[in-house]
A and B are shown apart, each in its own frame.
Chain A
């Protein structure tokens, strides 16, 4: 008998929480990106758990696509980080505060 889905779901929730906290708290753009990856992984884990429980391969297909999109996102995102860093020589997101009211 496999471990109940509930445990994996809770684990995914916790992973999501950690990633979210890191996203809100860290100042380096790169670390923030990594936290985004954490959150995405939490979502993937949730999908796979559901796929297994409901015997639906569509869950796994979703994960597949999420991974593709994550890759694309990282590509573009890091490109932006590089472009910004060239101007300011700092990856701190707090520096990008010109759009203030």
Chain B
């Protein structure tokens, strides 16, 4: 594989996506202001969306932007503003002894190990899927159709389950965020 030259556009796209992702990720963990961290997160999510498009996952890229960047990060921002969290957050020295060192070592080893494992097993092994009969995945509207077919037929049960999950999540969120109603004066807790 190394001897073959890759199409320049795909390389460019990859580099862009990679930069967006990594810079955003590093931004999340380094900036002091949580609002800035949220914005870095958006950058990462955007980079991931670009990578999705490059990998013929157009619908998912769209969903990524709409749901992740659009809804989830907005939710984050809501909460940040709501709680009024200020920047008194990162201190240079971690109060827990050795946390940063061990974390760095552990994560480094894990990532290195994962990459090694993947390299040793030739990155991608496995047979091509029978459902697409060996053709490459469709792009564009065909992708939506392909994905939709898969979700509503092969993975229907999971789909229904996630629907239920969403309902539960909403109910839970409402309950959690509700202020304690004082029903009777005696029921005031400690």
Which residues on A are within 8 Å of B, measured CB to CB?
1-11, 13-22, 24-28, 30-31, 33-35, 37-38, 41, 44-45, 48-58, 60-61, 63-65, 67-76, 78-83, 85-86, 91-92, 94
| Cβ-defined partner of A57 (8 Å) among B26, B123, B150 | B150
Q: Which residue of A lies closest to B72 (CB)?
A: A74
Task: List which B74-104 residues lie within 8 A (CB) of chain A.
Answer: 75-76, 79-80, 82-83, 85, 89-90, 94-96, 99-100, 103-104
- Distance between Cα atoms of A83 and B127 in the complex (Å): 48
In the complex, the answer to whether A18 meets B26 with C-beta atoms within 8 Å is yes
Q: Which residue of B lies closest to A33 (CB)?
A: B76
A35 with B28, Cβ < 8 A, contacts A11-B18, A73-B169 known: yes
In the complex, the answer to whether B155 meets A65 with C-beta atoms within 8 Å is yes
Report how many residues on chain B are interfacial, defined by Cβ distance under 8 Å.
98
In the complex, the answer to whether B37 meets A6 with C-beta atoms within 8 Å is no
Instruction: Report the minimum CB–CB distance from B81 to chain A (whole Å).
Output: 11
Task: List which B106-128 residues lie within 8 A (CB) of chain A.
Answer: 106-108, 110-111, 114-115, 118-119, 123-124, 126-128
In the complex, the answer to whether B57 meets A68 with C-beta atoms within 8 Å is no
Which residues on B are within 8 Å of A, measured CB to CB?
1, 4-7, 10-11, 13-14, 17-18, 21-22, 25-26, 28-29, 34, 37-38, 41, 44-45, 48, 51-52, 54-57, 59-60, 63-64, 67-68, 71-72, 75-76, 79-80, 82-83, 85, 89-90, 94-96, 99-100, 103-104, 106-108, 110-111, 114-115, 118-119, 123-124, 126-129, 131-132, 134-137, 143, 146-147, 149-151, 154-155, 158-159, 162, 165-166, 168-170, 172-177, 179
